[in-house]
Amino acid sequence: MHPFKVVLVIEAELLQLWQWDVSRWLVSAGCRYLLAWGKDAGAWEESVDEASLEAADYEDAPEDQLVITTSHVDEDLDEVFWFAKNRAQHPLHDLRQTLILHIADAEQRDALEERYRQA
């Protein structure tokens, strides 16, 4: 996959081991900018940071493998979507693809995609 952005919308609690597996998968799949929003957003930001370090064998990662992470605890989801579309940039990659990863008990794909389009 080409490098991409992820807006992580967390509305359910998960086992920590699963969170780490998802974080590693995101980094290895090409996530280069993560915006975490919702339940435990700070913990998700940390786990993706850690997965990025792990992928570089705890050395300084080359700039093209840099993963920028942010957590948006006190912001409205629409503001996070707007920021992802208009301001979230990587120093080397033109991140044209954005993945909305929704972790919840109920699927809301259409509603989230519409909110993202409207942002």
What tens-digit pLDDT sequence spans the chain (119 residues)?
A: 689 999 999 999 889 999 999 999 999 999 999 999 999 999 999 999 999 999 999 998 889 999 999 999 999 999 999 999 999 999 999 999 999 999 999 999 999 999 999 99
> Which range of residues forms the domain containing residue 37?
4-118
Do the beta carbons of residue 5 and residue 99 sit within 8 Å?
Answer: yes
Sign of CA dihedral 113, 114, 118, 119: negative
Q: Residue 40 carries which DSSP code?
A: T
Total number of domains in the chain:
1
Look at residue 14 in the predicted model and tell me its pLDDT: 86
**pLDDT cut 90: percent of the chain above it:** 92
Strand partners, 6: 34, 99
**Separation of alpha carbons 45 and 8, rounded Å:** 10
How confident is the model at residue 13, as a pLDDT? 86
d(CA 70, CA 6): 11
Kindly report the CATH number assigned to the domain that includes residue 113.
3.90.190
